[in-house]
Amino acid sequence: MTTENHPIDQLFKEKLGSLEKNPPAGLMDQISAKVAFRGKIRRMNQVKTAIGIAAAMLLIMMAGWYSMDQTRIAKNQMPLQIPQINTPALAKTNQESLDIKPTVNQIAANQHTIQTTPAKNTSLQSAKPSKSLTVQKNKVVSASVSDGASLLAAQTASKEPSKAAKQEENTVKTKAAEEKTVVKEKSKTESGSNNFQKKNPPLYFADAGVVKQTPSRESGKGNWGITAELSPSVASQSVSGATANTTQQSTVSGGMLASYQVSKRIKVSSGIRFSQMKQDTHTSYTLSQTSGITYLQPVDKAANLAGDVSLYLPAVSSIVYSNGMKTNPTDNFTSDIAQELKYLEVPFQATYKIIDTYLSVGVTGGLSTNFLVGNHAIITQNGINLSNGSTGNVRDILFSSSAGIEVGYGLAKNLIITIEPRIKQYLNSVSSNDQVNYKPTQIGIFTGLTFSFN
Amino acid sequence: MTQLEEIIYKCREENNGAQTALYRLFSSKMYGVCLRYARDSSEAEDILQEGFLRVFTKIRQFEFKGSFEGWMRRIMVNTALEKFRKNDRLYPVEEMSIYEATNWVDETISSITADDLLRIIQELPPRYRMVFNLYAIEGYSHLEIGEMMNISEGTSKSNLSRARIILQKSVAENFGNEKKLVKKVL
């Protein structure tokens, strides 16, 4: 017999195919209430998602901008150093002045030359950067000319014979002593000039490069990096007034973080991380019905987080067990409840490197803000789902602190793999219910890959 | 723009009045669908409620291609299927050896009311009820049913066959006079 002609099929299709029955009154009110509830949750999730995306994009843009800026400086903007006052011409001049046989006039002239040198160095090096390089060069040139002129005057003076000079030639010892003094003074003066240069490092300009010199900085300082990390996590709980048998379940956490190397050993990072909490509870419950919605309530209301599970069901006449037995909604019954809470975490953490080699070891600590993005509960009995719901009185925002030990190994120049055992402590209770003080401690081993933009 | 289209557009804007109007327009038809797939009125209400929630949530996805009523009906059927998949393990598959592999056609069967047939179909084991509804009333093929219920095409055919046998027996026991029935061998 063909399907189309089967009498049973035809009978049921004719009678039931266009069946219309009025649903019970009040059902639309329940639907409206649930639509409003879901709309609120959806809008909240949209806002959280938007904030998360915006934060991630901002971090990526900042990292990209900084990376590009560093590249631009390195390639196109060679730092400029003001030429030192000891130009070859001036150095030669000074050398010549030392080679000249000293006379009183020469000594006087050289003293003048030597004494004026640091003064000119000071005036040039401490001068604010001029807008025009020509001006700077002019200053340098004029300085050289003036020093040359003073030296010329000294040399001219030394060549003119005089009685005083003849007397000085006769007193060789005195002259030698004076020459020694002048040399000491010159040495002292040059030393002073060097000290000045050390205290006042050369100025740098962006327009041209006379001397190719980049600012020295500590290794890795100022670098941006981005890290992807993943971890299995287990949790313990801190529950007050618990009588129910609750077991924490392992979860998975992971996310993306941007980091900034503040100094050689200190790194700060932030980003987005997904984390979860899962727990199973075996306890006794009663069902109560209000305005057509069925709520599950634990016998011990102060038990723990499982005490606030709500089931959004229409009015039920009975609960069907796996063996086919039925129970009245007002009767107590024992079942398992699996609860799952999902969070988007925005961490702010710092890492201090204790050992900084290819295999680095550091300590990490930080604070996080956790935004609730998922809330799901399943009531099961003998492994069979009886109904779905959610946990009530759950806070939308939680704060947590974390600490860990980060071990890193450089896979390549810009790529580091890290393993970090980390402990995370929630600072405020997951539940807003005064009777439930639930601040779990989670332990995870985070494995991450960090790429540095340098 | 028809009145229905206007209601649909307002529902997209999450207008409560429009949602109520849409519910009034289609709730009785959709409740009839839900009753066929549910084991009782309580479960049917549950399916109807969840189904309408999905309609209101996904109404932006309706592109005015085809019948809106058909679109809603598919949502109700899918909701019922999802509920069936979740609770499938609650119900044992009935042992079929107790039924005879015969097919009955009742000459007076047209006098049976829809409520009677509804009660009979609700007494079917859930998997048979699902397959029978999808094949005999909705018109899906066994291949499609297999994909929807995550079973093989052969299992779908087997379930349909057994559903027919159970329904025939129930009809015969409740309403048939064996003398008035014509026995046909399959």
Q: How confident is the model at residue A370 (pLDDT cuts 50, 70, 90)?
A: very high
Q: Do A311 and A363 fall within a single domain?
A: yes
Q: Kindly state whether residues A264 and A381 are assigned to the same domain.
A: yes
Does A385 touch chain B if contact means CB atoms closer than 8 Å? yes
Does A48 reside within a domain?
no
| Amino acid identity for residue B133 in this structure | N
Regarding an ipTM greater than 0.85, the answer is no
Tell me which of A170-184, A394-408, A430-444, B169-183 is least confident: A170-184
Q: Is A12 in contact with B117 (Cβ distance < 8 A)?
A: yes
A149 and A285, same structural domain?
no
Kind of pairing between the strands at A415-426 and A251-261: unpaired
Q: How confident is the model at residue A248 (pLDDT cuts 50, 70, 90)?
A: confident
Q: Are residues A224 and A180 in the same domain?
A: no
Q: Are A296 and A380 in contact (CB under 8 A)?
A: no
d(CA B177, CA B164): 18
A425/chain B closest Cα distance in angstroms = 36
Task: Calculate mean pLDDT across residues A26-44.
Answer: 83
Q: Is A27 on the interface with B (CB under 8 A)?
A: yes
Q: What is the DSSP letter of A24?
A: P
- Tell me the per-residue pLDDT of A143-157, one tens digit each, with 9 for 90 and over: 333 444 444 444 444
Contact B145, B134 (CB under 8 A): yes
Final residue belonging to a domain, choices A199, A232, A260:
A199
- What CATH number is associated with residue A261? 2.40.160.20
Q: A360: domain range?
A: 219-453
Across residues A345-369, what is the average pLDDT?
91
Tokens of A422: 């980390």
Question: At A299, phi and psi to the nearest 5?
Answer: -65, -45
**pLDDT of amino acid A101:** 47
Arithmetic mean of pLDDT, A12-40 = 86
Do A179 and A233 sit in the same domain of this protein?
no
Nearby residues of B26 by Cβ (< 8 Å), 6 or more positions away: B69, B72
Distance in angstroms (rounded) separating the CA atoms of residues A186 and A118: 10
Per residue in A81-121, pLDDT tens? 444 444 454 445 445 444 444 444 544 444 444 444 444 44
The confidence score (pLDDT) of residue A116 equals 41
Would you state the pLDDT for residue A298? 60
Angle between helices A133-159 and A88-99 (to 10 degrees): 20
In chain A, residues with a C-beta closer than 8 Å to the C-beta of B57 are: 35, 38
Residue A25 lies in a domain: no
Q: Is the pLDDT of residue A47 over 60?
A: yes
Of B45, B90, B113, the CB nearest to A322: B90
Question: Is the Cβ–Cβ distance between B166 and B129 less than 8 Å?
Answer: no
Indicate whether A271 belongs to any domain.
yes
Range in A10-24, A44-58, B89-103 the model is least confident about: B89-103
Q: How far apart are CA A353 and CA A363, in angstroms?
A: 7
Q: What residues in chain B have per-residue pLDDT under 50?
A: 89-104, 178-186
Residues A20 and B37: their CA atoms lie apart, in Å, by 14
Please report the number of interchain residue pairs, chain A to chain B, with beta-carbon separation below 8 angstroms: 116
Task: Please return the burial class of A130, using the count of CB atoms within 10 Å of its CB with bins 0-12, 13-18 and 19+.
Answer: middle
CA dist B20 → A408, B59, B61 (Å): 60, 14, 19
A1 inside 8 A of chain B by CB: yes
Same structural domain, A428 and A306 = yes
State residue B162's pLDDT score.
92
Higher pLDDT, A288 or A398: A398
What confidence score (pLDDT) does residue A139 get?
41
Does the residue A163 lie in any domain? yes
Q: Which of A8, A10, A376, A379 to mutate to test the interface with B (most CBs of B within 10 A)?
A: A8
Q: Which amino acid is at B124?
A: L
Residue to test with chain A: of B26, B33, B107, most A Cβ within 10 A = B33
> B26-72: per-residue pLDDT in tens?
999 999 999 999 988 999 999 999 999 999 988 988 888 888 999 99
CA atoms of A424 and A443, how far apart (whole Å): 6
Residue A171 within any structural domain of the chain: yes
Tell me if A122 is assigned to some domain: yes
Cβ-in-10-Å burial (0-12, 13-18, 19+) of A108 comes to middle
Top-confidence residue, A34 or A177:
A34
Number of structural domains chain A divides into = 2
Check whether residue A224 and residue A147 sit in a common domain: no
Query: Which residues of A fall within a CB distance of 8 Å from B121?
Result: 12, 16
Residue A54 maps to a domain: no
Helix (H) or strand (E) holding A299: none
pLDDT, mean over chain A: 68
Could you tell me if A283 and A386 lie in one domain?
yes
Band (pLDDT 50/70/90 cuts) for residue A318 is low
pLDDT the model gives residue A391: 81
Q: Could you give all domains of chain B from N- to C-terminal order, each with its CATH number?
A: 3-90 (1.10.1740.10), 96-185 (1.10.10.10)
* Same domain flag for A230 and A292: yes
Structural domain includes residue A441: yes
Mark whether A288 and A164 lie in a shared domain. no
| Residue whose structure tokens are 């949502």 | B75
Is the pLDDT at A282 greater than 80? The verdict is no
Statement to judge: residues A315 and A415 lie in one domain = yes
Same-domain status, A181 and A236: no
Residue type, B153: E
